[in-house]
Amino acid sequence: MTSAPLFMLNNGVQMPAIGLGVFQTPPEETTAAVQAALSAGYRHIDTAAAYLNEREVGEGIRRSGLDRSEVFIETKVWISDYGYEQTLHAFEKSAAKLGVDYLDLLILHQALSTAFELTIQAYKALETLRGEGKVRAIGVSNFTPEHLQRLLDRIQVVPAVSQIELHPYFTQQATRAIDAAHGILTQAWSPIGGITVYRGDPQKSTLKDPVILRIAKAHGKSAAQVMLRWHLQQLRSAIPKSVRPERIAENFDIFDFELTASELAEIDSLDTGVRGGPDPDSITLEAFGRPIPEA
Ligand code: NDP
C-alpha cells in the first residue's frame, strides 16, 4: 500500500505529510471516515477538542486494527482550556476521549491576542507535557507572525508545527517565512480551499479555479489532487477533510505525479491575500469561548 512521505519535525519526530482532517465531520460519521482513511493508507489524523469528535476518532483508529504507534494523532487545545493547569487537564481530557496514553502532536488552536499571558501559560503546559513524554511534539495554530514572535520571546521549546489557513487563494507568505526561519513545519488547513466553498461563493472556490482545473487536466488528476501536490512539493503538511470514502482515497492518490516549477508558480500567483477564516486577532474568550466537556 502507498504511504505518505514523512516530514522530520524540528525535534526529530517523523510526521506523515498528509493527514485526514475532521473539522465539521459529525461524530456519527467520524469513525467511518477515519477507518476509510486508514484503509486508504493515511497514518495521520488531525482533530481538535473543539470538534467534539475525538472519541469517534479514537474508535476509528481502534477498529482499523493498526497498532497505536502506527497512527500519528494530532489534536488541539481550545481557548477555554488555556492557562497552565487548565491546559494540562485539557491533555487528560483529549487523551481519555481518544483512548490513548500519549499524543503525537498537541497544538494550541488559536492565539488569544487580548489575553496573551493565558496563551503563554497554555504553551508552557505543552512544554511540560512534552518533557514528560505525554506528547511527542507541540505546536500552534492560527498564529500570525506577530503572535509567533510574542510566543518565541517567552518560551523554551520552539513549536514543531504551525497550522494555518493555506490554499491557493491565501498563501500566507509572511507566516511561512517566519516558520521557515525557526525550523517550524507549516501545515495547511483548508488545503484544497474547503473554506472557499463553505464560507464563500462555491462557484468561485479553488476547486473550480480555471488555472487549477487546466493543470489538473494536463496531469489527468483532480483540482483537489493538484492543490495537495502543490503543498507537498513546497514541503508543507496538508490535512484535507472529507467524509466520502472515494474523496478520502482521491486525496491520498497524489504520490505518482509531479507539478512543474511553472505550474507551482502559476498556483502561487492565485493568492488574493484575503483569508476565508476569521481574523486571528478577533478570537476572544468572550466571543469564542465554550466549555470543552470532560472525558
Ligand atoms: P478542506 O480544504 O479539507 O476541504 C474540505 C471540503 O472539501 C469539504 O466540504 C469536503 O466535502 C470537500 N472535499 C474533500 N475532498 C474533496 C475532493 N477530492 N473533491 C471535491 N471536494 C472535496 O477544508 P477544511 O476547512 O475542512 O480543512 C481541512 C482540515 O483542516 C479540517 O478538517 C481540520 O482538521 C483542519 N482545520 C483547522 C482549522 C484551525 O483553525 N486550525 C480550521 C479549519 C480546518 P465532503 O466531506 O463532503 O467530501
Backbone angles phi, psi at 150, to 5 degrees: -60, -40
CA distance 251 to 69: 23
CA distance 51 to 163: 16
On whether residue 179 sits in a domain, the answer given is yes
Residue 93: is its pLDDT beyond 90? Answer: yes
Residue 1: is its pLDDT beyond 80? Answer: no
On whether residue 263 sits in a domain, the answer given is yes
Q: Predicted confidence band at 117 (pLDDT cuts at 50, 70, 90)?
A: very high
On whether residue 114 sits in a domain, the answer given is yes
CA distance 118 to 243: 35
Structural domain containing residue 60: 16-272
The tens digit of pLDDT for each residue in 21-79 reads 999 999 999 999 999 999 999 999 999 999 999 999 999 999 999 999 999 999 999 99
The tens digit of pLDDT for each residue in 137-183 reads 999 999 999 999 999 999 999 999 999 999 999 999 999 999 999 99
Looking at residues 217-224, what average pLDDT do you find?
Answer: 98
All three cell numbers of 267, joined, read 498556483
Torsion of CA 171, 177, 178, 181, to 10 degrees: 150
On whether residue 8 sits in a domain, the answer given is no
The 3 state secondary structure assigned to 49-98 is HHHCCHHHHHHHHHHHCCCHHHCEEEEEECHHHCCHHHHHHHHHHHHHHH
Q: Predicted confidence band at 281 (pLDDT cuts at 50, 70, 90)?
A: very high
51 in catalytic set: yes
pLDDT computed for residue 255 by the predictor:
98
On whether residue 1 sits in a domain, the answer given is no
Query: 18, 72, 75, 190: which to mutate for ligand 1, most atoms within 8 A of CB?
Result: 190
Looking at residues 113-120, what average pLDDT do you find?
Answer: 97
CA of 223, closest atom in ligand 1: 19
pLDDT computed for residue 2 by the predictor:
85
Report how far apart, in Å, the C-alpha atoms of 168 and of each of 189, 190, 211, 227 are.
12, 10, 11, 7
Ligand 1 binding residues, C-beta < 6 A? 21-23, 46, 109, 141-142, 163, 189-195, 197-198, 207, 222, 224, 239-244, 247, 250-251
Looking at residues 118-147, what average pLDDT do you find?
Answer: 98
On whether residue 279 sits in a domain, the answer given is no
On whether residue 244 sits in a domain, the answer given is yes
CA of 250, closest atom in ligand 1: 18
Query: 165, 241, 275, 283: which to mutate for ligand 1, most atoms within 8 A of CB?
Result: 241
Tally of domains in the chain: 1
CA distance 280 to 224: 26
Q: Predicted confidence band at 227 (pLDDT cuts at 50, 70, 90)?
A: very high
All three cell numbers of 82, joined, read 488555556
CA distance 165 to 172: 8
pTM exceeds cut of 0.75? yes
Q: Which of 119, 152, 94 is nearest to 280 (CA)?
A: 119
On whether residue 287 sits in a domain, the answer given is no
Q: Residue 116: is it exposed, middle or buried by C-beta count within 10 angstroms (0-12/13-18/19+)?
A: middle
Give the CATH number for residue 173: 3.20.20.100
All three cell numbers of 207, joined, read 476547486
pLDDT computed for residue 292 by the predictor:
98
Q: How many CB atoms lie within 10 A of CB 274?
A: 9
- Centroid of chain to Cα 55: 18
